Structures are given as structure tokens and as C-alpha cells.
Amino acid sequence: MEYILREWRETDLDSLIKFANNANNTKWMSKDWRYPYTVDDGKKFLARFTNRTPPIKLFAIEIKGEAVGGIGFFPDNDIHKKNADLYFWLDEVYTGKGIMTKAVKEILEYGFKTFDTFKVYGKTFSTNIKAQAVLERAGFKLEAKYERACFKNGEFYDEFIFSKFKE
């Protein structure tokens, strides 16, 4: 299935709400991604990530004209300035089709070329088996496990830290 990585646009509000307002899509994401995901949540997100000065760090994943997910490469700073964090999500309808693995490989190529980074981290809830599989297929290795490091919706979760070095 074809997809496009592109900048987020203000006109993505409807599709952002449509796909982010799904508990199955947001259950392993940060507290800013809650269910229900409201129009106000979407407006705040788009205000933060549209019309950005290059280089862009967060992209929409577009399929069939809709923003159905997102992926970002965020360089760190200070003594960790050679590292970056990778974040991604995709609507459940499109998972299991190889889209996210391709998108992760694409964003890694972009991120390593665009930013002065040497290592990138992908962090997942221990229960997010699909995200772990995406990272492994993209060449990441499990580096650490933090017990009960995440707290969401009244529950503790272990966090797995995957990493990949610039080739």
C-alpha cells in the first residue's frame, strides 16, 4: 500500500480527529494522546506542528488523501545531542501491511542525513508487540527494559528501549 510522508497541515484536522479518536490507536502513546481525542486536542497538536521552520521533525503519514498516522525524528540536546528519539503511530486499519516498517526506514534515512545524530531510540510499552516488531524489522535492537516506567489510564507498564546506530 502506498503512503506519503509529508508535513502536517492545518487542513488535516478532520482526519487527525478521525484517526486519533480511537482508543486502539492511542493506548500506547503519551498522555497528550488520550481517548476521546477532541477537536481542541487536534487544534493544539496542529498549532504546534504545522508551519514549522525546517528541518521538519514530525511528519504525517498520508494514505488515500488522509493523515492516518504520524512519525517523528527528534534530536536530543546537551550531552545527548548525538542521539534522537523516534516516535510513530498508525491507524489500526493500516497496521500489519508493512507501511510502518517502510516509514521508519525512510525517517531514519532522513533523520541521519538531516541531523547530526549517531544513535536513535525507539521506546515502546512492553505490551506493544506490533511496535516492537516494526523496530526490529527496521534494524533496531532491544537495549533496555525499565520496569513499571510508564503510567497511563491508571496502570503501570514496563517500557522497552530499542536503539539503532547510524550505519
pLDDT per position as a tens digit, 128-152: 999 999 999 999 999 999 999 999 8
Nearest to 69 by CA among 92, 46, 51, 97: 92
Decide which of 32 and 6 is more confident.
Answer: 6
The answer to whether residues 120 and 164 touch, using CB atoms and an 8 Å cutoff, is yes
Kindly give, in sequence order, each residue whose CB lies less than 8 Å from that of residue 78, ignoring residues fewer than 6 positions away: none
Look at residue 1 in the predicted model and tell me its pLDDT. 86
The answer to whether residues 46 and 67 touch, using CB atoms and an 8 Å cutoff, is no
Give the C-alpha separation, 124 to 102, whole Å.
18
φ/ψ of 91, rounded to 5, equals -55, 140
Look at residue 72 in the predicted model and tell me its pLDDT. 97
pLDDT per position as a tens digit, 31-43: 878 889 999 999 9
Look at residue 34 in the predicted model and tell me its pLDDT. 83
Asked if residue 156 has pLDDT above 90, the reply is: yes
Mean pLDDT value across residues 54-81: 97
CA distances to 4, 75, 83 from 79, rounded to whole Å, are 34, 12, 9
Q: Which three cell numbers stand for residue 51?
A: 508551519
Look at residue 124 in the predicted model and tell me its pLDDT. 96
Q: Which CATH superfamily is domain 4-165 in?
A: Gcn5-related N-acetyltransferase (GNAT) (3.40.630.30)
pLDDT per position as a tens digit, 71-129: 999 999 999 999 999 999 999 999 999 999 999 999 999 999 999 999 999 999 999 99
